[in-house]
Chains A and B, each alone.
Chain A
Amino acid sequence: MAGPLALALVLGLASLSFLMRAAGSFLPNLPSAVTARTGGLAPALLAALVAIQLTGPNGVIHLDVKVPAVLFAALLAALRAPFIVCVIGGAVVAALLRFVFHL
């Protein structure tokens, strides 16, 4: 990625994140019914990201090495493996399948 584009990515995300963290000091009176709902954001977005990464542009599951990689990572996560173990485990499954089956 070209430098200016990377800088735009960093500054764009950084400024929005800054504003979100700073907001609490300026608007402390939002009803808790509203703020409590933000707990649902992370699971919904992460699940959506997984779904998008595993499907093709037509919304149907795209069967490649990512699918078994994700299943293996989920298994490791269910066994309470640390984050890095899940990531490396998923990558190793994908790399092995590619190496063995030339996918």
Chain B
Amino acid sequence: MNQPARAFSRERMDRWPTAKLEGYQLRRLKNILRYAGRELPFYRERFQRAGFDPDKVKSLADFARLPSFTKKESLDALKQEKNFPAGLEKLTASGGGVLCMTSGTLGTSFLYLPERWAALRGDSLARAYRWAGLRRGMRMLMAAPAWHSLAVQETRVIQRLGAACVIPWGTFLPRYARHFLDAILDVKPAFISIFLPMLYALLAECRRREMGAAQAFQSVASILVVGAPMTPLARLDLKRQLGVKDIFEGLGNPEGLTAMECPHHVGHHIFLDCCYVEIVDPATGQPLPTGERGNVVLTSLIHHGSVYLRYDSEDLGAILPRRCPCGRSWPLMEVYDRRANILRIAGRQIVPYDVRLCLDELPALVNIPFAVIRSATPMERLTLLIQKPASGNLEEIGVRIATLLRKKLAVETTQEWAEELPQRWKGVTVIEEQDWRGTRV
């Protein structure tokens, strides 16, 4: 059996009955718990502190008794060690593999991604690229820079599927959109894998060149986007503007999560061969029923490289209470935003994704960049910074926004219009008030 065929044969498990999948995940969880208890000091200490015996885990409910941890705790472990590794990984003596970084406001984490990790995650991920239409011989524009954990997986995906790739110069910051657009125009990829803010930056670059986006993306059949949530109407509008056959969205992080859309676009299938996902109540830490929003807690099922067991990703998400018409039994999930982006307005909690859903109901505002300005003091109103749409009366649009948000989210709003959102905030949906006002002094 050739390599791609072997990888695709694993896709049979996408349709296993739920009970069989749960049994499979429990077996994998037990294995990785034993591995962590034996090899990884970070977890040995955590198990000991919590009085948690990995050998006594007989059910998923038993597993949920292991306390979750956040990035801060893994960073504290690194700071305590003063040197990588920090006890979440066992480096292989034979070498191979790479270190990657994830950054954030708290600091930088280092993750060890050995070749076996890349092979298992990449082979699993390959199915999503097939769902999105990537085939042998097709050319894919690979936007993730080499060092990014997504690129490490895509390297495997591309080889597995026998695709060709074009690597544009620069990185996925909007200021490199010029190079990315050149690469699309010159090398004509049929498939693009890209971060959503960069896709918006490419649209802006098309406008700057006075070039129709559909003309620029003429060669492109499918786009796979990651990095920010895309609403259903935003997808439709992007498809229309770009003239592409379809746009797929993926969720993922190097700590463990892979969840990707199939062509039905009713949510992201959780890749149960790589990760175990729980949604828990932020206040009690208890599991929430499907459909309710809560903290996304992840466990990687791959015992190679950096291992994350009950890692609180600080994302706000939900397991969706529906099955996908594609027939795959892998559950569907949605991630709405980082928990840090939750806004508390007049006693209500909302995230920018909720605002985006509302704005999308106004045709003039679909895919128009916006940001929420957050005040350090309690907020009674939602202040929106919105890029001026190409057409329409701003006063009338403002009234419609206010009415919509009052009806759907029960919040009062104030709007500010900008010719263009400042470059550094493209793709960033929450701006702290002091930063925003500071730039205008």
User: Do the two shown chains form a genuine complex with each other?
Assistant: no
Residue numbers of B with Cβ under 8 A of A are none
Query: Which A residues are closer than 8 A to B by beta carbons?
Result: none
